[in-house]
């Protein structure tokens, strides 16, 4: 390994993403940033479709979880891998096609410059690309207000799962990371632990396939659970 080359792990949590994960892995092979070495790590969260087979077509490097841990457990598994293998940066991006791979360059840039410890890709700064439904945006604004109430910092896109972590943030996430619907709570938890968190504008797409785990009555459950989790953070 050459000196001053940043080792970057791209964590792709996947649950029933057979329609999109192969295309994402192919696109990630074309990412090229000077002095950066990228490794994609799909994390198959006990999918019940052909996600694992699709992953194997495109990569020999993956985690295959023996049981479904949920998004938080899958992401933390990848973060533990990053910690144990001495990666400098870990990038979380969805396996459903919502996060264009080239946008990750914008997310890692502030970390490479040591401007922050965690960088979140936000849909709501420049308001370009897929913006989600009105009700979801309203819910995100509510959660953002709760986070600001608790720590004084505004995170506009607090539910964004497109984010990057440096070694300090990875170490904190290895110690604790929420298991379900983790993004808003984890952002607040990290800020409370003295981890620098910032947002940068990115464009996102609608998902390539599959269905969201947060829809219908589940969206109400999500809001209640995450709101209570945020209020409990000390």
* Confidence at residue 216, expressed as pLDDT on a 0 to 100 scale: 47
Q: Note the pLDDT of residue 73.
A: 96
Residues 6 or more apart in contact with residue 120 via CB below 8 angstroms = 107, 155, 157, 158, 160, 162, 163, 187, 197, 198, 199, 200
HSE-CB for 49 with a 13 A CA cutoff: 14
Query: Phi and psi at residue 193, in whole multiples of 5°?
Result: -85, 5
CATH number for the domain spanning 55: value is 3.90.550.10
Q: How far is CA 195 from CA 8, 75, 158, 187, in A?
A: 19, 18, 15, 9
pLDDT at 119: 98
The average confidence (pLDDT) of the chain is 91
Instruction: Give the pLDDT confidence score for residue 147 in this predicted structure.
Output: 96
Domain assignment present for 206: yes
Domain boundaries, position 216: 6-232
3-state SS class at 64: strand
Instruction: Quote the pLDDT of residue 218.
Output: 67
Residues 6+ apart with CB under 8 A from 98: 130, 162, 204, 205, 206, 207, 208
DSSP states along 83-135: HHTT-SEEEE--SSS-S-GGGHHHHHHHHHTTS-SEEEEESTTT--B----HH
Residue 1 placed within a domain: no
> Which residue stretches of the chain have pLDDT < 50?
1-2, 210-211, 215-217
Note whether 144 and 158 are within 8 A (CB).
yes
In a domain, 107, yes or no: yes
Instruction: Look at the chain and report how many structural domains it folds into.
Output: 1
pLDDT at res. 125: 92
Q: Which of 180, 160, 169, 176 is nearest to 233 (CA)?
A: 176
């Amino acid at each position: 390994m050459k000196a001053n080359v940043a080792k970057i792990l791209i964590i792709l949590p996947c649950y029933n993403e057979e329609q999109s994960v192969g295309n994402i892995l192919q696109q990630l092979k074309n990412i090229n940033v000077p002095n950066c070495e990228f490794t994609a790590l799909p994390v198959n969260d006990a999918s019940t479709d052909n996600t694992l087979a699709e992953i194997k077509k495109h990569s020999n490097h993956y985690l295959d979880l023996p049981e479904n841990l949920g998004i938080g457990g899958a992401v933390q598994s990848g973060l533990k891998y990053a910690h144990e293998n001495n990666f400098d940066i870990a990038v979380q991006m969805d396996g459903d096609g919502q996060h264009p791979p080239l946008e990750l360059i914008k997310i890692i840039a502030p970390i490479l410059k040591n401007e922050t410890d965690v960088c979140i890709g936000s849909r709501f700064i420049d308001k370009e690309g897929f913006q989600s439904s009105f009700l979801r945006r309203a819910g995100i604004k509510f959660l953002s207000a709760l986070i600001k109430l608790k720590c004084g910092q505004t995170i506009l896109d607090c539910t964004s799962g497109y984010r990057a972590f440096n070694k300090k943030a990875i170490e904190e996430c290895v110690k604790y990371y929420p298991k379900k619907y983790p993004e808003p709570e984890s952002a607040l938890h990290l800020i409370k632990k003295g981890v620098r968190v910032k947002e940068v504008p990115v464009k996102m797409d609608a998902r390539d396939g599959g269905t969201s785990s947060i829809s219908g009555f589940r969206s109400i459950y999500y809001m209640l659970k995450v709101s209570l989790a945020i209020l409990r953070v000390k």
